[in-house]
Each structure stands twice: as structure tokens, then as C-alpha cells.
């Protein structure tokens, strides 16, 4: 039983870590006839490092955490095809699996009526400094679908929630100014930092010049997500659930599998003989 995650960004890293923890702590409890070795977790990416937008220190720490958890990290690998049974990569490498999770990003759907001249890489729509689509006076685009190309952002802004939130607020303010005939304000992204959790006591925090990895970064990640929840009651319930899951080391996540006869794993003597 193999799981292949394509894309080593925050989504892929967090999913790989979650699956690895499920295998390491849940699998044998729920299915005593299975062993951890029966479940393989692969994380593959075309880029040379995991968590590409993060710092080199954060990227290296994330890879180390994943490897320690038993995830097989394959970098500089490009997917060639997948037929539902086997995923093939350029260079000839293949992995037999029925579980492929795409976490390498999405491509926007271009609305009808837009010229190809305003479409950037990934089907993102080219916008000016106030998120107005180039060539239009009253059509705007924000977030993932918008590509604000400039000297400071030659590839546009990252496709994260904070960009969309900040752009949405500014567009609302600029619309009022346009109606009133007042000058508009250009968008300037306030990067509040990047967070990614890999697993229990393992996370990456890049907060400007301040960088953390490991347990303290994990606490920061939990705090940020907790205060982001709406309502005091929701915060308390989630906090209690987190504490109970942490102490029990047994989250609520479960997997459903079909009945099957697991393949016999090679004995230690056979593994040594093959290695020799």
C-alpha cells in the first residue's frame, strides 16, 4: 500500500507528515495484522528542495523531519504519466500505487472574453498595481488568479490566503475611491511570514529574519491557527481536542481499507543477503 504525493510545497509536506504519523501511530493499532512496512509514503517534486518558498534552513529541516518519519523524499523528479495502477517519472523510475495525491498547485480557469495577452503562467490574469485587469476599467482580480508582475515580484505574489485577504480589503477601499473620484492606493504585500507543520512537535516557521524549526515552531503554528478561529467557544473546543490528542498520541484520523492479504515482508537475513 503506497501513497504518492506530487508536490513538495506546504500542502504536500503537511499531507506527507500526516500520512507518516498515521502509519507510525495508528495503522498497527487499528489493523494488528499489518506492519508499518506495508505502508509507503512518497513525496516527489520537480524542484531540488522541499518547501521551495521557505528559507534554506527551513527547507533542510523539513526534509530531515520527513525522512526521520519514514517518508521517502524524491526531488528533481518529474511525473510523466499515471494510469491508475502505476506512476511513471522521467528517467524510467516507476512506483506501483493506486493512491496519488496532487499537491503541486492548481491552474486557473480563464473566463471567456479575456485576451491571451493578459494570461500569465498558470492561467493567472495579469493585473496592475490596484488589481485591475489590464485592458479593463472596471474588472478586478485578486488572490490566486491574479498575477501582479513587477520588479519586486517578477513571478507575481505567492498563492496564499494572506495575499487574497489583503488584496480584497484594498480593492474594496479603492472601489470607493474610484466612485468618489479620489486617487487609488497601490497594493503592497505585507508578508507576515510562512508556517508549515510536518507532524507532532515538528514545524517550520519563517517569520522574516526570525526562523524557527522543531517544537517551538510547532507551538507558533498552533497558536496562529488557534487565534484565527472565529468565536471563543470554537477556540476552547479545538484547544481541548488538541491537548487530548497530544497526550493520548492517538488522533481521530482513521483509514478505511479493503480486505487483502498483505505481502510477506522479507526477513532480516534475506534483506542482509540482498544488500550484500
Question: What is the structure's pLDDT at 93?
Answer: 85
**Residue 249 in this model has a pLDDT that exceeds 80:** no
Please give the Cα distance from 4 to 102 (Å, whole number).
Answer: 9
Q: Answer whether residue 155 is part of any domain.
A: yes
* Residues in the chain, overall count: 276
Looking at the fold, whether 100 and 14 belong to one and the same domain comes out as: yes
- Looking at the structure of the chain, the number of domains it has is 2
Average pLDDT over every residue of 259-271: 57
Q: Give me the domain span that covers residue 10.
A: 2-105+193-248
DSSP letter string over 50-111? SSTTS-HHHHHHHHHHHHHTT-EEE-S--EEEE-SSEEEETTS-EEE-SEEEE-S---PPPP
Same domain, 46 and 165: no
Within 8 A by CB and 6+ apart from 85, the residues are 96, 97, 98
Q: Which of 124, 153, 179 is the last residue of a domain?
A: 179
Which one has a higher pLDDT value, 276 or 265?
A: 265
What is the reported pTM? 0.73
Structural domain includes residue 263: no
199-236 tens-digit pLDDT: 888 889 888 788 888 888 888 888 888 887 888 888 88
- State whether 173 and 214 are in the same domain: no
Q: Give yes or no: residues 146 and 70 share one domain.
A: no
The per-residue pLDDT for range 153-198, each reduced to its tens digit, is 888 888 778 889 999 999 999 999 999 999 999 999 888 788 888 8
pLDDT at position 276 is 44
Cβ-in-10-Å burial (0-12, 13-18, 19+) of 151 comes to: exposed
Higher pLDDT, 105 or 241: 241
In a domain? residue 187? no
The pLDDT value given to residue 179: 92
In a domain, 276, yes or no: no
Q: Please identify which of the residues 14, 21, 72, 264 carries the catalytic annotation.
A: 14
Residue 264 lies in a domain: no
Q: Is 14 a catalytic residue?
A: yes
All cell numbers assigned to 184: 487609488
Q: What is the mean pLDDT of the chain?
A: 83
99 with 134, same domain: the answer is no
Amino acid at each position: 500500500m503506497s501513497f504518492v504525493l506530487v508536490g513538495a510545497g506546504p500542502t504536500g509536506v503537511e499531507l506527507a507528515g500526516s500520512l507518516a504519523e498515521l502509519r507510525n501511530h495508528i495503522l498497527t493499532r487499528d489493523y494488528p495484522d499489518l506492519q508499518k512496512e506495508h505502508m509507503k509514503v512518497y513525496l516527489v517534486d520537480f524542484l531540488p528542495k522541499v518547501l521551495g518558498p521557505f528559507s534554506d534552513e527551513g527547507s533542510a529541516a523539513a526534509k530531515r523531519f520527513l525522512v526521520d518519519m519514514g517518508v521517502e523524499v524524491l526531488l528533481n523528479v518529474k511525473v510523466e504519466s499515471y494510469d491508475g495502477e502505476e506512476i511513471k517519472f522521467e528517467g524510467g523510475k516507476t512506483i506501483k500505487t493506486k493512491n496519488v495525491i496532487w499537491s503541486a498547485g492548481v491552474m486557473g480557469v480563464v473566463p471567456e472574453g479575456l485576451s491571451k495577452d493578459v494570461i500569465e503562467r498558470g492561467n493567472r490574469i495579469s493585473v496592475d498595481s490596484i488589481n485591475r485587469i489590464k485592458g479593463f476599467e472596471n474588472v478586478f482580480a485578486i488572490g490566486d488568479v491574479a498575477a501582479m508582475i513587477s520588479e519586486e515580484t517578477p513571478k507575481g505574489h505567492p498563492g496564499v490566503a494572506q495575499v487574497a485577504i489583503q488584496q480584497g480589503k484594498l480593492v474594496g477601499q479603492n472601489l470607493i475611491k474610484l466612485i468618489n473620484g479620489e486617487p487609488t492606493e497601490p497594493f503592497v504585500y505585507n508578508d507576515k511570514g510562512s508556517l508549515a507543520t510536518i507532524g507532532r512537535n515538528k514545524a517550520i516557521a519563517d517569520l522574516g529574519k526570525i526562523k524557527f524549526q522543531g517544537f517551538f515552531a510547532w507551538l507558533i503554528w498552533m497558536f496562529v491557527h488557534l487565534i484565527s478561529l472565529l468565536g471563543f467557544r470554537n477556540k476552547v473546543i479545538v484547544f481541548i481536542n488538541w491537548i487530548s490528542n497530544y497526550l493520548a498520541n492517538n488522533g481521530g484520523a482513521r483509514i478505511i481499507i479493503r480486505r487483502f492479504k498483505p505481502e510477506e515482508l522479507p526477513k532480516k537475513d534475506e534483506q542482509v543477503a540482498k544488500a550484500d
